[in-house]
Amino acid sequence: MKRIALSGIALLAASIGLAACSSDESQESNEYAQDFYNPVLPDGADPWMTKHEDTYVYTHTTGSNITIWQSDSPTSMMNAKSKVVWEPTPGTENSQNIWAPEVHFIDGKWYVYYAASGGGSEHRMYVLESENEDPFSEYTEVGQITDPTDKWGIDGTVIEQNGELFYVWSGWEGDENVSQYTYIAGMENPTELNTDRVELSRPEYDWEKEGGSPSINEGQQILYTEDYIHIVYSASGSWSDFYKLGILTAEKDADLLDPESWTKQEEPVFESSDDVFGPGHASFIESPDGSEHWIVYHAAKEQGSGWTRNVRMQPFEITEDGFPDFGEPLSITKPLPLPAGDPVNITRYTPDMIETEGDVTDEGILAETDQSLSLQFDAPEAGEYYLYLYWRNSGAVTVNGSTDTGDTFTFFNNNQGLQNEPLSVSSYKLNLEQGENTVELNVANGTFDLDHIEIKDH
């Protein structure tokens, strides 16, 4: 029997034991869920996801490097293949506070646009170039990408229009941190600008100025529809529950360097709902079969949690007029239909399907120290699977590392001291044998507040 242990030093701790075993009892084949739960990543900010052929390429802010993930399932980035494609040279001007990378495929290569500083508040924007069309290939550090003013700038992204490239970013007008504007410039090639910067937008409406100084337009992302090019941007303080999305729109063949070509909507297009707070910094993808539009964004883990965020996704519509209708950010306590064509196979275990010594409540299972939980999983083939625990917890715990040699490890659900996070998720890789497997969880210390369990092949 393989045993994988989870033990905590605060409220939550559980150990997982895994056995591939035979049984005289027959078990029906797994019934796969047709829906999924947010968050798709339990921690993360500034998510960027793009679809390239049949693969989704993803990155977000790590702060210290550029990491890229790849998967054929947009809902499965937690266990996707990943690679650190770039780490800075210590002590350089772009070695710290590495923010909001984006990965763009242009003319057969990948370009990573990111912002960084030397340790202070002097952020500038930089670009990396891949060796070839593989997003995991080697990258060359091209250097800074800037207009002649060389002012503070972050959140660079690219518009492609009729064979021409344009660079859009968030920047300061001067040298003081009082407000962030939306700027655009023409591009000579994917690594150089060839025009002066042009201001397209500054915070002007009350909803763009909430949360305190500075007032903010940032996190600019491009959304193309049949007749329009949209810049969807984030407004108000990213540290606040007031963070939200606004939109600028130009006709698809307009002069994009002319501010008169752009129209700003007077109201936000995506903002906090009753139980989702501070949604922002979005990117946009199609479903695997190309029939649906999805928004990928971050939101605060709970009301008032500021920069403690996770990554979520949900579908949206394009109206007959060519504008996105994002609706409102949806609660993470209810599942959403999987993106059409998502290849992930999800076997979900609700509390009534789990054997437990704990208390089964309307909200899940409460198991105390030394109490156990177990479930049966029929693996269609031998190989790697992923156990997802969807849980709630009001205490903070920390990663403690390996407890001994062999197949026993220690993990911790870390909710960073939050008191009212509605749902979080932890994931563990399991090596299963074909056929029936028994998964056992034993609470080693404290209280385990479980919503449900899933086993996935991604």
Question: Do residues 360 and 396 share a domain?
Answer: yes
**Mean pLDDT of successive 10-residue stretches along the chain, which has 458 residues:** 33 40 42 95 96 98 97 96 97 96 98 94 96 98 97 98 98 95 99 99 97 96 98 96 98 99 98 95 98 98 88 98 98 95 96 92 83 89 91 43 32 48 81 88 77 93
218 is catalytic: yes
Question: Do residues 107 and 123 share a domain?
Answer: yes
For residues 374 and 355, the answer to whether their CB atoms sit within 8 Å is yes
Distance CA 319, CA 116 (A): 37
Domain boundary among 312, 337, 362: 337
CB burial string 372-400: b at 16+ within 10 A, e below: bbebbbebeeeeebbbbbbbbbebbbeee
Q: pLDDT value at position 420?
A: 63
Q: Using only the alpha carbons of the chain, give its radius of gyration.
A: 23
Domains held by the chain: number:
2
For tokens 């992302």, what's the residue?
Answer: 221
Q: Could you report how far apart the first and last alpha carbons of the chain are, in Å?
A: 23
- Max distance between CA atoms of the chain, in angstroms, equals 75
Structure token digits, residue 243: 């963070």
Best CA proximity match to 124, nearest among 156, 165, 102 = 156
3-state helix, strand, coil split of the chain in percent (to 5) is 5, 50, 50
Distance CA 242, CA 206 (A): 11
Question: Do residues 186 and 297 share a domain?
Answer: yes
Catalytic residue among 46, 208, 241, 342: 46
Question: Do residues 234 and 88 share a domain?
Answer: yes
The CATH number for 15's domain is 2.60.120.260
Domain boundary among 337, 354, 372: 337
Find out whether the peptide bond into 279 is cis, omega within 30 degrees of 0: no
Question: Do residues 386 and 254 share a domain?
Answer: no
Distance CA 278, CA 267 (A): 16
Question: Do residues 113 and 185 share a domain?
Answer: yes
Question: Do residues 296 and 213 share a domain?
Answer: yes
Question: Do residues 101 and 216 share a domain?
Answer: yes
255 is catalytic: no
Q: pLDDT value at position 397?
A: 27
330 SS3 class: coil
CB burial string 18-28: b at 16+ within 10 A, e below: bebeeeeeeee
Domain boundary among 314, 337, 360: 337
Question: Do residues 108 and 27 share a domain?
Answer: no
Q: pLDDT value at position 30?
A: 64
Range of the domain at 290: 39-337
The CATH number for 173's domain is 2.115.10.20
Catalytic residue among 102, 208, 210, 218: 218
Question: Do residues 7 and 87 share a domain?
Answer: no
Question: Do residues 27 and 46 share a domain?
Answer: no
CB burial string 406-432: b at 16+ within 10 A, e below: eebbbbbbbbeebeebebbbbbbebeb
Q: How far is CA 131 from each of CA 141, 178, 405, rounded to the nearest angstrom?
A: 11, 39, 40
Question: Do residues 308 and 390 share a domain?
Answer: no
